[in-house]
């Protein structure tokens, strides 16, 4: 818990709200920072394993988004669906960063974890088929 680490303060809260992440805050120890990743700092495999672990204990196809970077290829998207099947997922949602203008997860500031977040979202037409 951050308060037990003695790091919580109104100033720190304001920095987290402003940047949308805690991992870049040097005021926190590396051990505490690693506990607070944003969706773009979690690999597709980790997203899939989290979903598979949860879905194993529910009857419905509870979904969470498998976040992929903007440069993800068609092959990588197919791979996410194949891996979900291998893990026994009942269903998944895949989102490729920047695929839609006005997306829900839009970091306020740039981060090395999400290089695509540094530029405005550039919507591209969907391919046929």
Angle between helices 44-55 and 74-86 (to 10 degrees): 30
* pLDDT (mean) for 7-29: 81
Phi, psi of 114 (to 5 degrees): -140, 75
Residue 2 above 60 pLDDT?
Answer: no
Q: 59 and 23 in one domain?
A: no
Phi, psi of 11 (to 5 degrees): -65, -45
- The Cα–Cα gap between 96 and 114 comes to 12
Among residues 37, 113, 124, which one has the least CA distance to residue 69? 113
At residue 17, the pLDDT reads: 78
- The Cα–Cα gap between 12 and 73 comes to 37
Residue 121 above 50 pLDDT?
Answer: no
Domains in the chain: how many in total?
2
Q: What is the pLDDT of residues 37-47, one digit of tens each?
A: 887 788 889 98
Note whether residue 65 is domain-resident: yes
Identify the residue with better confidence: 15 or 61.
15
Tell me what the pLDDT averaged over the chain comes to: 77
* pLDDT (mean) for 42-65: 85
Q: 93 and 49 in one domain?
A: yes
Residue 73 above 90 pLDDT?
Answer: yes
pTM: 0.61
Range of the domain at 60: 42-98
């Amino acid at each position: 818990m951050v308060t037990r680490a003695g790091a919580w303060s109104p100033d720190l809260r304001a920095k987290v709200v402003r940047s949308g992440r805690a991992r870049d805050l040097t005021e926190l120890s590396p051990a505490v920072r690693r506990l607070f990743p944003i969706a773009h700092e979690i690999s597709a495999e980790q997203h899939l394993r989290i979903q598979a672990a949860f879905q194993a204990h529910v009857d419905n196809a509870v979904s969470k988004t498998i976040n992929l970077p903007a440069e993800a290829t068609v092959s990588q998207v197919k791979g996410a669906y194949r891996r979900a099947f291998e893990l026994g997922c009942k269903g998944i949602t895949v989102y490729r960063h920047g695929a839609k203008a006005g997306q829900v997860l839009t970091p306020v500031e740039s981060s090395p974890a999400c290089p695509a977040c540094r530029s405005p979202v550039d919507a591209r037409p969907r391919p046929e088929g």
